[in-house]
Amino acid sequence: MRKLEGRVAVVTGGARDIGREISLKLAKLGAKVVINYFDSKEDARQTLKLIKAFGGIAICVQGDASKLDDINKLVYKTTEAFGDKVDILVNVAGGLFARKTIAEIDENLYNLIMDVNFKSCVFVTQAFVPFMDRGSSIINFSSQAGRDGGGPGAFLYAASKGAVSSFTRGLAKELGPKGIRVNALTPGMIATRFHDDFTKDEVRTNVAKMTPLRREGRPEEVANLVTFLASDESSYLTGNNVDINGGFLFS
C-alpha cells in the first residue's frame, strides 16, 4: 500500500544507516524523497540507486544542515524538483564526534555538537515550514541520551538531543493550529555506524543483555516508526518524544 503517494519528503542525513532506511521506506510508500547528505557522497548515490531500482522517485542534495546557505540551497533544490509544497520533513542529521569529559571539552567541540544536532533541526525546520500545509508532518531525531544524560563523555550530545526534545514539544504547540504535526523519536541502541565508531563492543553487548528484548534495534525498525508518524495513520499524534529502545528505558 503506497499510503504516501505523491507526497514530498525531505530527509536530512538521509544517505546512510537510519537515514537511508527512512529514505527507502518513504519512497516505497510513494513519497518523492529529497536525500540530504553532507560528506557521504557515495552512500547517497547508493541510496538513490536503491530507490530508483524499485521505481521510486528521489534526488540527492549535498549540504551542511547546520549552515544557513546550505539550508537555502536544500530548499531551492527541493522546490525546483518537486514544487512548492513539502509534506514530510525528517531531521535525522546529527552526530557525537567525540567522547569528552567536562575538563576536556572546548568551544569548538561545543559548537560542533550543538550546531549539527540542534541548530540544524531548528533552521531546517524554519526554512521548510512555509512550504507545509495542514496534514504535514515533521519528525525530529532526539535520543535516549536526551532522557538519561548519555553514556560516558557524551553529555554535550545528550544536552543537544534534550534540546531537540523540548523544541519538538514547543513547536507542536505553535504549529498545531495550522494542522502541522511535530513529533520526535528517542532511539536507544540501534545497530549503526554511530555505535561502530563511538561505543565499545563490550558496552553494546552489555546494553543488549539489559534490554528486555535482548538485542539492539535495527535501522529499518526506526524507519517503520518514522513512516507511521509521517502518515495520516498518526493524525492525532503531536508533541510526542517516542521511545524506540526495546524496553531499555520507559517514559
User: Among the options 76, 110, 157, 236, which is catalytic?
Assistant: 157
What would the grid cell of residue 41 be?
A: 557522497
Tell which residue, 211, 191, 213, has the closest CA to residue 18.
Answer: 191
Q: Can 157 be counted among the known catalytic residues?
A: yes
Q: What is the pLDDT of residues 92-107, one digit of tens each?
A: 999 999 999 999 999 9
Cα 65 to Cα 127: distance, rounded to the nearest angstrom: 11
C-alpha cell at 225: 516508526
Question: Which pLDDT tens digit goes with each residue over 35-81?
Answer: 999 999 999 999 999 999 999 999 999 999 999 999 999 999 999 99
Q: Give the pTM.
A: 0.94
3-state class (DSSP) for residue 240: coil
- The three cell numbers of residue 237 are 499524534
- Please determine, for residue 198, whether its predicted confidence score (pLDDT) is greater than 80: no
Q: What is the pLDDT of residues 156-179, one digit of tens each?
A: 999 999 999 999 999 999 999 999
Beta bridge partners of 181: 137
Q: Cα angle at 234 between 233 and 239, to 5 degrees?
A: 170
Q: Which domains does the chain have, with CATH numbers?
A: 8-243 (3.40.50.720)
* Nine cell digits for residue 82: 518537486
